[in-house]
A = this chain, B = another copy of it.
Amino acid sequence: MSDQPLMLGAVLYEGFELLDLFGPLEMFTALPPDMLQAVLIAESKGPVRAGSMADSPMPSSVADYGFDDAPDLDVILVPGGVGTIAELENQKTLNFLRDRAGRAQITSSVCSGSALLAKAGLLDGHRATSNKMFFNLAVMQSDRVDWIETARWVDDGDVVTSSGVSAGIDMSLAIIARLFGQETAETIARGAEYTWHRDADVDPFAQYLNDGSV
């Protein structure tokens, strides 16, 4: 482990899913700041509005950094959400992800965030997963990915992708366990009174594959 804390950057965009972002962030920010620090990054710094499948009015969270002044990142977290579809056409986001993933230790996604990673080419040659209801959205972005349909999350080394929404919490604890040890992850889960699904291969929602179609 290096002397410097790891820097985690969560990449936001309009229409991100609240729990995709804040579930993992809850766990990562339970680490002491001399081990890991987390920042929110968007194309431009400032408020970014979340999205909802139900088209409800949604709150905004504040990006601390824009793409142009984001710090060096060791861990990247890309949430999904209804905004993913529009973001697939945003070359600035795809370029930022390509640029930063090449220098990061772990690039991770929650839910449809893996569609963005796939579109950026970052999952080519890798095993990866996505949310159940709209699995095909991710699959459509690249046929060079070994898409795993039944998985709570898939850890393929420098890319780690999770299934839908809540699965991101389980994935984030697994990343914490890999980086800082199992006991650290267990302590964080217990502090948050979270029943951690520890087995990446057990997927309680596999039966709902493409239930929402694309």
Query: Given known contacts A29-B56, A59-B64, what 7 new A-B pairs fall within 8 Å (CB)?
Result: A29-B50, A30-B52, A32-B56, A38-B57, A60-B62, A165-B192, A195-B197
A133 on the B face (CB < 8 A): yes
Instruction: Say yes or no: is A55 at the interface (Cβ < 8 Å to chain B).
Output: yes
Query: Sorted from nearest, which 4 A-B pairs have the closest CB atoms?
Result: A164-B193, A19-B26, A22-B22, A166-B194
Determine which of B36, B56, B167 lies in contact with A193 in the assembled complex, contact meaning CB atoms within 8 Å: B167
| A131, CB-defined interface residue at 8 Å | yes
Main secondary structure of the interface of A (DSSP, over half): loop
Contact assessment for A39 and B57 in the assembled complex, using a CB-CB cutoff below 8 Å: yes
Is A26 within 8 A of B37, CB to CB? no
Question: Do A61 and B64 touch across chains, with their CB atoms under 8 A apart?
Answer: no
Q: Which residues of B contact A36 (CB under 8 A)?
A: 56
Which residues of A174-203 are within 8 A (CB) of B?
Answer: 190-195, 197
Tell me which residues across on chain B come within 8 A of A26, comparing CB atoms: 17-19, 165
| A interface, size bucket | 35 or more
A23 close to chain B: CB less than 8 A: yes
Contact A61 B62 (CB under 8 A): yes
CB-contact partner of A52 in B29, B58, B62, under 8 A: B29
Interface residues of A (CB under 8 A from B): 17-19, 21-23, 25-26, 29-33, 36-40, 47, 50, 52-62, 64, 131-133, 163-167, 190-195, 197, 204-205, 208, 212
Cβ B195 vs Cβ A166 within 8 A: yes
Cβ–Cβ < 8 Å partners of A133 in chain B: 191
Cβ-defined contact, B33 with A23, below 8 A: no
Whether A60 lies near B59 (C-beta < 8 A) is no
Q: Which residue of B lies closest to A165 (CB)?
A: B192
A64 to B163, CA, bound (A): 31
Cβ-defined partner of A18 (8 Å) among B22, B39, B131: B22
A195 to chain B: closest residue by CB: B204
Q: How far is the CB of A156 from chain B (nearest CB, A)?
A: 20
